[in-house]
Amino acid sequence: MDNRAGEMEVFVAVSETRSFSAAARRLKLSPSAVSKLVTRIEDRLGTRLLVRSTRTLQLTPEGEVYFQRAQRILGDIAETEHVVAAGGRMAPRGLLRVNAAVGFGERYIMPLAPAFLARYPEVQLDLTLTDSMIDVVGERTDVAIRTGPLRDSSLKARKLMETRPVVIASPAYLEKYGIPQTPDDLDGHNCVRFNFRRSVDEWAFRAPGQSQIAHRTVSGNMQVSSGSIVRQLCLASVGIGRIGRFHVEPDFEAGTLVPLLEDYQSGEIETVYAVYAGHEHLAARIRAFIDFLAERM
């Protein structure tokens, strides 16, 4: 019987190290044995998985798919053995890669991380905060936090919370430049906008008693990449911003920022999801983290 798991372990080691020699040292095999095992996999599958050169190895698209699936399968095998050795208890353990927007990560995940790790001490949390959209599968991320409509139907998602956009400014800015009473008054103000591709220089409003949403073009001398930066600039009295309310609830309570044009809110709701490339038997560490966020939020 073929040792498919052993072959996968060899291929994963080669893919991670990009070297037959380095993989051989890791697995205590000869480089020739490692090379032959990779060739055996390619012959059986009838496709090339690695492009070999004198200096480096590169994964083909088929090789990348095989690498990702092999990693997952080997991880499932290791976790299964751990569970059986522990008497059947599914204890969350291992490396957990999490990606979130900067503002959400600072507001929620970082404060909650110590409690999560105290509850699950065998989990190692690898947290990346970025406002750039990532390929969850391609970058081998276990959980990504996403706000708004989900585009990738191949991913699974769990709703964590809802928020709505709010227009904000600091008391110092408003004292100097005045308080806008209607969306039309924004013409005379410096509005901090987003610079990413899906953004537009329009903010949505709905007049009191009206059902139709109107979009108001705004302008200003600052464009930024994240809600957390909008918040910081508004705290510094640079201008007026519009971001998710979860960013600024503590600032409202402290009085360092105030909400504006509340009677003209559009009623838009933004849903925050935990997104993951899951399957029926989701790894315990991933399920534990998502359950923990849902519980605490």
pLDDT in tens, 62-120: 988 999 888 888 877 877 776 665 544 567 888 899 999 888 888 889 999 999 999 99
Question: What is the pLDDT, as a whole number, of residue 278?
Answer: 66
Say which CATH topology domain 4-85 has: Arc Repressor Mutant, subunit A (1.10.10)
Q: Which residue has the higher pLDDT, 240 or 35?
A: 240
- The CATH code belonging to domain 94-156+275-296 is 3.40.190.10
* pTM score of the predicted model: 0.61
CATH code for residues 165-268: 3.40.190.10
| Structural domain spans, the chain | 4-85, 94-156+275-296, 165-268
Three-state helix/strand/coil letters over the chain: CCCHHHHHHHHHHHHHHCCHHHHHHHHCCCHHHHHHHHHHHHHHHCCCCEEECCCCEEECHHHHHHHHHHHHHHHHHHHHHHHHHCCCCCCCCEEEEEEECHHHHHHHHHHHHHHHHHHCCCEEEEEEECCCCCCCCCCCCCEEEEECCCCCCCCEEEEEEEECEEEEECHHHHHHHCCCCCHHHHHHCCECEECCCCCCCEEEECCCCCCCCEEEECCCCCEECCHHHHHHHHHCCCCEEEEEHHHCHHHHHHCCCEEECHHHECCCCEEEEEEECCCCCCCHHHHHHHHHHHHHC
Same CATH topology for 94-156+275-296 and 165-268: the answer is yes
